[in-house]
């Protein structure tokens, strides 16, 4: 096939070629350059790619050298009964052995072995005495249970392991947690009352192997409320080592001058040494570390492999990709004959390949390869298609965003209405939205209660009670109540602030309150409900009120708000349950203000003969902006500019001082100025540089590996 494609000329250009014409042997050779997840993605293109992905020699190179021993030990089958692809898939799943006290799996990206030992497989001093230790169940452990230390003088944890590791360098970690984690009302809480003694003396970690390797370290335990991986040491398994490696590891703090307590011991993790930095430095983006050159992208890997099959010299091809990524031209004769690979494969095949990318980082890297690739992404609206794929709800507001210029890049002029300028503007808008919106639909999009049209008994029956998920705590009723009215047609309103200034809202949940302390248990619901979303006319007014902790107002002034959306009326049932009202189509709330209008009254109180409305809980369901993004209102119509603030999330996590907040504002102004000065390619490079370069592998989002003990 290489000669046929290389010999294409203008005379036979009418014969179109596609990926269906690539022989399976050629495709299998392409797979040799790809990682297992990338092979699985390409196998979905067509039947030829799928059949080529089943070849045993492709997966033989992805499996560890001792995969036959692993199949016998952890799966319980002989290696001959499974094909290589099935063997890889089975070994990538967490497989338990030794009575469920140990777990082993292969990393899907690299095929390297990881192993975890539960706390029940460790020898812990005093574990059988309930005065010192307890085994508590928790969802935060892969073994569903952890060992919790209440208080002890002599702290010692020892473990031994004998296992056949494939050759390589490995690191060993203890996974520990200061405090007792639990859940209350669906929220994670941590009791740190029993945490003591760990800041007086460091804990000593030790490691030794049967091959004579030893390692030790000391570290203070810190950061209550977080699962932390404490590095014990590294060891190396060579090819000339024995079939099995014996490892002994320990953790002790035996200074009996003081007691220690409040510690959870979950497990011991053994993983390849390179994972120590690449995998455990978790980030909210969730990307694994990538090379700074675009050659590492999946699409470029495919083109790289196809280039080899087309007979192009390897060095010339690599230099072509590198030079094209910096905008330089290459004058080699072979590459001049072949041209751009997007033109060679055709727009349809290129679209099929690019649409398999599900990470905005990958699509940004495609834009940075060359000006033609960048133009191809813009003209075909690939970021828009990716955004709709990631967030199906946004398809309902696409017309509003594009027709009304709802989200406006700062550097574009309002009179730029040409087709190319609109495409470039939409390209940036959807690229921002693909990273700015939360990947998960949240039910807690309301962050604060602002005001109510009326309140019967303030603050006992204030609107703030509607943010609690329950209608009572410790026999105390939690609800909002309106003032009593003799006219049942009088309506009420509740005003809330969403957790982000931009939020894609799909549903509103409202639960009427049932007065369990009154005769016949009346339910004070409304006849109907309606929702409005918008923003303040003067945003600084609400911010100043909330900054000094004062209540905004008991009487709503409707002229202070601009409502950009009003829903139809929904009938409300007189039932004590969380009633779900799904909006006709998703609403992009810009400004972060939600108003719940309660229309009409149905229940009269026997005590005074007046009509009341009482609400116990209100929820907003949708996708808010991530903390590192914000918007700036441009005018009263709701048009806004999306801003990227990388330091905002760090400030929120570390409870920064006012001085640091001012520094964050300064950095934001500098970033905005650079964004306006630079062109399209510079903007994408800044977004690409902002993307984190690590991914957590099988770890909790709160898992952290300390680089050094705190001073």
The pLDDT tens digits for 674-708 are: 443 444 344 444 444 444 433 333 334 334 434 33
Of 228 and 396, the one with more pLDDT: 228
Of 52 and 544, the one with more pLDDT: 52
Average pLDDT over residues 255-261: 84
Of 271 and 543, the one with more pLDDT: 271
In a domain, 332, yes or no: yes
Tokens for 641?
């500019």
Structure-token match 């790619």, residue found: 49
Looking at the fold, whether 301 and 365 belong to one and the same domain comes out as yes
Q: How many CB atoms lie within 10 A of CB 231?
A: 20
Q: Which of 356-360, 540-544, 659-663, 665-669 has the lowest mean pLDDT?
A: 659-663
Looking at the fold, whether 228 and 113 belong to one and the same domain comes out as yes
Q: Quick: pLDDT tens for 607-626.
A: 899 999 999 999 999 988 88
Q: Is the pLDDT of residue 237 over 70?
A: yes
Looking at the fold, whether 121 and 227 belong to one and the same domain comes out as yes
From CA 487, how far away is CA 24, in angstroms rounded? 78
Average pLDDT over residues 647-670: 44
Q: Is the pLDDT of residue 269 over 90?
A: yes
Q: Quick: pLDDT tens for 506-538.
A: 999 999 999 988 888 999 999 999 999 988 877
Give me the helices (H) in 510-559, please.
Answer: 539-547
From CA 693, how far away is CA 705, in angstroms rounded? 16
Q: Which of 162-166, 268-272, 409-413 has the lowest mean pLDDT?
A: 409-413
From CA 627, how far away is CA 648, in angstroms rounded? 7
Nearest Cα residue to 491 out of 452, 534, 535: 452
Average pLDDT over residues 578-607: 91
- Confidence (pLDDT) at 399: 61
- Confidence (pLDDT) at 647: 58
For residue 518, the cross-strand partners are: none
Positive or negative: CA dihedral 401, 406, 410, 412: positive
For residue 216, the cross-strand partners are: 206
Nearest Cα residue to 195 out of 143, 243, 151: 151
Looking at the fold, whether 530 and 562 belong to one and the same domain comes out as yes
- Confidence (pLDDT) at 573: 93
In a domain, 522, yes or no: yes
In a domain, 694, yes or no: no
Q: Is the pLDDT of residue 317 over 60?
A: no
CB-count exposure of residue 701 (10 Å: 0-12, 13-18, 19+) = exposed
Structure-token match 């203070």, residue found: 220
| Residue 267 main-chain phi, psi, to 5 deg | -165, 175
Looking at the fold, whether 247 and 338 belong to one and the same domain comes out as no
Looking at the fold, whether 403 and 386 belong to one and the same domain comes out as yes
From CA 440, how far away is CA 610, in angstroms rounded? 43
C-alpha dist (Å) from residue 147 to 35, 36, 179, 229:
37, 36, 12, 16
Looking at the fold, whether 507 and 596 belong to one and the same domain comes out as yes
Of 419 and 366, the one with more pLDDT: 366
Looking at the fold, whether 256 and 346 belong to one and the same domain comes out as no
Residues of the chain above pLDDT 70, percent: 70
DSSP letter (8 states) at residue 20 = G
Contact indicator for 642, 521 with CB cutoff of 8 Å: no
Structure-token match 């997007």, residue found: 342
Nearest Cα residue to 126 out of 28, 331, 26, 263: 263
Contact indicator for 259, 151 with CB cutoff of 8 Å: yes
In a domain, 22, yes or no: no
Nearest Cα residue to 263 out of 155, 116, 101: 155
In a domain, 366, yes or no: yes
Q: Quick: pLDDT tens for 388-401.
A: 888 777 776 666 56
Q: Which of 8-17, 35-44, 78-87, 629-638 has the lowest mean pLDDT?
A: 8-17
Q: Is the pLDDT of residue 58 over 80?
A: yes
Q: Residues 6 or more apart from 353 whose CB is under 8 A from it? A: 45, 299, 302, 345
From CA 298, how far away is CA 36, in angstroms rounded? 11
Element (H, E) at 245: strand 245-253
Contact indicator for 422, 380 with CB cutoff of 8 Å: no
Confidence of residue 410 (pLDDT cuts 50, 70, 90): very low
Final residue belonging to a domain, choices 253, 278, 303: 278
Q: Is the pLDDT of residue 629 over 60?
A: yes
Looking at the fold, whether 162 and 245 belong to one and the same domain comes out as yes
- Confidence (pLDDT) at 86: 87
Q: How many CB atoms lie within 10 A of CB 529?
A: 24
Contact indicator for 513, 479 with CB cutoff of 8 Å: yes
Looking at the fold, whether 357 and 238 belong to one and the same domain comes out as no
From CA 200, how far away is CA 423, in angstroms rounded? 61
Contact indicator for 536, 542 with CB cutoff of 8 Å: yes
From CA 261, how far away is CA 192, in angstroms rounded? 10
Positive or negative: CA dihedral 12, 16, 20, 26: positive
Most confidently modeled range among 273-282, 620-629, 653-662:
620-629
Final residue belonging to a domain, choices 403, 418, 433: 418
C-alpha dist (Å) from residue 703 to 12, 139, 219, 230, 269:
59, 14, 17, 10, 12
First-to-final CA distance of the chain: 63
Average pLDDT over residues 146-159: 91
Contact indicator for 394, 387 with CB cutoff of 8 Å: yes
Q: How many helices (H) and strands (E) does the chain have?
A: 22, 31
- Confidence (pLDDT) at 402: 57
Q: Which structural domain, as residue segments, surrounds residue 539?
A: 446-624
Confidence of residue 638 (pLDDT cuts 50, 70, 90): low
Confidence of residue 497 (pLDDT cuts 50, 70, 90): very high
Average pLDDT over residues 48-71: 85
Confidence of residue 340 (pLDDT cuts 50, 70, 90): low
In a domain, 433, yes or no: no
From CA 617, how far away is CA 511, in angstroms rounded? 5
Contact indicator for 467, 509 with CB cutoff of 8 Å: no
465: left (phi over 0), alpha (psi -120 to 50) or beta: alpha
From CA 236, how far away is CA 215, in angstroms rounded? 12
Q: Which of 218-232, 350-364, 577-591 has the lowest mean pLDDT?
A: 350-364
Please tell me whether the peptide bond between 637 and the residue prior to it is cis, using omega within 30 degrees of 0.
no
DSSP letter (8 states) at residue 568 = P
Average pLDDT over residues 578-599: 91
In a domain, 688, yes or no: no
Q: Read out DSSP for 456-468? A: SSTTTT-GGGGGS
C-alpha dist (Å) from residue 597 to 4, 370, 469:
70, 53, 20
Q: Total structural domains in the chain?
A: 4
Q: Residues 6 or more apart from 626 whose CB is under 8 A from it? A: 284, 435, 436, 437, 438, 649
Q: Is the pLDDT of residue 61 over 80?
A: yes
Element (H, E) at 50: helix 47-52
From CA 125, how far away is CA 112, in angstroms rounded? 33
- Confidence (pLDDT) at 412: 46
Tokens for 178?
């200061």
Residues of the chain above pLDDT 90, percent: 23
Confidence of residue 539 (pLDDT cuts 50, 70, 90): low
From CA 246, how far away is CA 209, in angstroms rounded? 6
Looking at the fold, whether 258 and 312 belong to one and the same domain comes out as no
Final residue belonging to a domain, choices 580, 599, 624: 624
Q: Residues 6 or more apart from 20 whose CB is under 8 A from it? A: 46, 48
Looking at the fold, whether 305 and 397 belong to one and the same domain comes out as yes
Q: Is the pLDDT of residue 8 over 50?
A: no
Length of the chain: 711
In a domain, 333, yes or no: yes
Q: Residues 6 or more apart from 10 whose CB is under 8 A from it? A: none
- Confidence (pLDDT) at 117: 92
From CA 19, how far away is CA 112, in angstroms rounded? 31
- Confidence (pLDDT) at 529: 96
């Amino acid at each position: 096939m290489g000669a046929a494609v290389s010999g294409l000329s203008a005379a036979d250009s009418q014969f179109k070629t596609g990926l269906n014409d690539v022989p399976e042997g050629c495709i299998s050779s392409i797979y040799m350059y790809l990682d297992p997840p990338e092979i699985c993605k390409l196998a979905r293109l067509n039947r030829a790619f799928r059949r080529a992905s089943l070849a045993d020699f492709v997966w033989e190179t992805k499996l560890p050298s001792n995969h036959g021993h692993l199949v016998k030990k952890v799966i319980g089958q002989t290696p001959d009964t499974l094909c290589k692809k099935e063997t890889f898939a089975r070994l990538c799943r967490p497989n338990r052995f030794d009575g469920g006290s140990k777990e082993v799996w292969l990393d899907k990206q690299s095929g390297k072995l990881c192993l975890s030992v539960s706390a029940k497989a460790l020898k812990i001093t005093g574990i059988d005495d309930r005065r010192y230790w307890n085994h508590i169940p928790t969802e935060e452990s892969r073994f569903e249970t952890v060992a919790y230390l209440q208080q002890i003088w002599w702290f010692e944890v020892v473990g031994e392991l004998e296992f056949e590791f494939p050759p390589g360098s490995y690191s060993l970690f203890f996974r520990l947690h200061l405090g007792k984690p639990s859940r209350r009302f669906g929220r994670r809480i941590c009791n740190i009352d029993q945490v003591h003694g760990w800041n007086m003396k460091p804990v000593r970690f030790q490691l030794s192997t049967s091959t004579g390797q030893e390692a030790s370290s000391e570290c203070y335990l810190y950061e209550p409320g977080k699962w932390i991986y404490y590095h014990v040491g590294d060891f190396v398994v060579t090819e000339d080592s024995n079939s099995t490696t014996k490892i002994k590891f320990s953790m002790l703090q035996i200074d009996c001058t003081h007691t220690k307590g409040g510690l959870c011991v979950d497990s011991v993790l053994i993983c390849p040494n390179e994972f120590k930095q690449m995998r455990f430095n978790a980030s909210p983006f969730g990307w694994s570390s990538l090379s700074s050159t675009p050659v590492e992208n999946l699409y470029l890997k495919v083109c790289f492999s196809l280039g080899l099959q087309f007979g192009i010299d390897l060095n010339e091809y690599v230099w072509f990709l590198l030079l094209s990524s910096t905008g330089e031209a290459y004058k080699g004769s072979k590459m001049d004959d072949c041209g751009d690979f997007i033109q060679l494969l055709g727009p349809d095949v290129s679209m099929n390949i690019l649409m398999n990318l599900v990470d905005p980082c990958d699509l940004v890297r495609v834009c940075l390869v060359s000006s033609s690739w960048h133009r191809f992404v813009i003209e075909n609206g690939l970021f828009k298609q990716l955004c709709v794929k990631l967030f199906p709800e946004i398809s309902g507001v696409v017309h509003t965003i594009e027709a009304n210029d709802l989200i406006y890049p700062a550097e574009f002029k309002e009179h730029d209405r040409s087709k190319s300028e609109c495409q470039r503007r939409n390209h940036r808008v959807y690229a921002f939205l693909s990273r700015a919106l939360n990947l998960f639909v949240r039910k807690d999009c309301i962050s604060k209660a602002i005001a109510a049209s009326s309140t019967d008994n303030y603050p006992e029956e204030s609107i703030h009670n509607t943010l609690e998920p329950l209608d009572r705590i410790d026999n105390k009723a939690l609800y909002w109540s309106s003032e009593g009215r003799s006219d049942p047609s009088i309506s009420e309103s509740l005003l809330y602030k969403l957790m982000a200034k931009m939020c894609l809202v799909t549903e509103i949940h409202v639960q009427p309150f049932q007065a369990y302390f009154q005769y016949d248990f009346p339910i004070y619901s409304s006849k109907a409900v309606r929702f409005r979303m918008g923003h303040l006319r003067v945003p600084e007014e609400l911010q100043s009120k909330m900054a000094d902790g004062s209540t905004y107002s008991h009487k709503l002034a409707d002229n202070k708000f601009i409502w950009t959306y009003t829903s139809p009326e929904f009938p409300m049932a007189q039932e004590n349950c969380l009633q779900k009202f799904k909006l006709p189509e998703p609403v992009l709330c810009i400004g972060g203000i939600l108003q719940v209008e309660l229309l009409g009254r149905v229940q009269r109180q026997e005590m005074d003969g007046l009509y009341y409305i009482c609400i116990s809980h209100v929820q907003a369901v949708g996708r808010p902006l991530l903390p590192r993004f914000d918007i700036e209102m441009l005018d009263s119509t709701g048009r806004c500019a999306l801003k990227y603030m990388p330091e905002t999330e760090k400030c929120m996590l570390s409870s920064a001082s006012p001085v640091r907040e001012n520094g964050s504002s300064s950095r934001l102004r500098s970033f905005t100025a650079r964004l306006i000065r630079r062109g399209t390619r510079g903007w994408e490079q800044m977004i690409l540089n902002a993307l984190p370069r690590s991914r957590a592998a099988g770890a909790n989002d709160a898992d952290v590996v300390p680089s050094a003990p705190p001073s």
